[in-house]
Amino acid sequence: MRILVVSDIHGNSTALKEVISHVSFDYLWVLGDLVDYGPDPGGVVDLVRELDPSVIVRGNHDHAAAFNVDCGCGPSTHELSVLTRSKITLQSLSRNDLDWLKRIPLTGNAELCGSKIHMVHGSPDNPLYGYLYYHKGPAILDMSLERLQSPEAGGSILLHGHTHYQGLIHYRDLLLVNPGSVGQPRDGDNRAAYLVIDVNTDEARFVLGRIKYDVDKSLKMYERSGLPEWATKQLARILRNGKVD
């Protein structure tokens, strides 16, 4: 059995289609942020619904679009978030699409080979907005993971997104895995990022993957968006370079 785990698609249907066409999988898990920043949020929502993921959690951008609230994202991309939400996301999604985003749960759980898996977009203590950067040090990780480590609510594996940084670390008695961003990587590698969990009878193997997609095709889709030139140039830099700065 193979499980494909994706996160932070951000309206980039070109990147998502590249991943699902080249990665074989039996089940799909989605860790949030289907919309904003990218040129085709409607296409992403349609495709994800068609794929019918067995687990899906809501991201902060899904929440912002569905409930008409601020995304709570970092200052370096906040203006782009607000602009693309108003000019693209809310112009592309139907009322039914937004209602579907509203119904996506904030957390998900599963069990594989005797290990409990907890899934959020951000962090266990703050599913929508919490950032788990592995390089920030143990104090921040301990605070964010405290709830997960409690016997009654925890799991031995955490899958999360939100940072757009792909990574896998063992921390204390936990395995933390971030599949990275499909549609807008920011860790210096502009290829679409994903995770495959390869499961056999008594073992689950976690394999991080990257795949090149047609960035120019994604950028061309912005032509009818009505975004100002500065915004399209900044979005192009992020997609081409795989980082914000």
CATH of the domain at 203: 3.60.21.10
User: What's this model's pTM, rounded to 2 decimal places?
Assistant: 0.94
Span of 70-74, 134-138, 201-205 with lowest mean pLDDT: 134-138
Amino acid residing at 142: D
Query: Is the pLDDT reported for residue 155 higher than 90?
Result: no
Please tell me the distance from the alpha carbon of residue 237 to that of residue 178, in angstroms, as a whole number.
23
The pLDDT tens digits for 78-92 are: 999 999 999 999 999
Please work out, in degrees rounded to the nearest 5, the angle formed at the alpha carbon of residue 182 by the alpha carbons of 239 and 220.
40
Is 79 a member of any domain? yes
The pLDDT tens digits for 211-233 are: 999 999 999 999 989 999 999 99
Is 149 a member of any domain? no
Query: Is the pLDDT reported for residue 154 higher than 60?
Result: no
pLDDT band at 141 (very low <50, low <70, confident <90, very high): confident
Is 124 a member of any domain? no
Which residue from 116, 75, 126, 67 is spatially nearest to 93, judged by alpha carbons? 67
Is 45 a member of any domain? yes
Query: Is the pLDDT reported for residue 150 higher than 60?
Result: no
Is 15 a member of any domain? yes
Is 40 a member of any domain? yes
Is 52 a member of any domain? yes
Q: Indicate the number of domains in the chain.
A: 1
Q: Tell me, rounded to whole angstroms, the distance of Cα 55 from its chain centroid.
A: 13
**Which domain range does residue 192 map to?**
2-108+176-241
In this prediction, residue 140 carries a pLDDT of 67
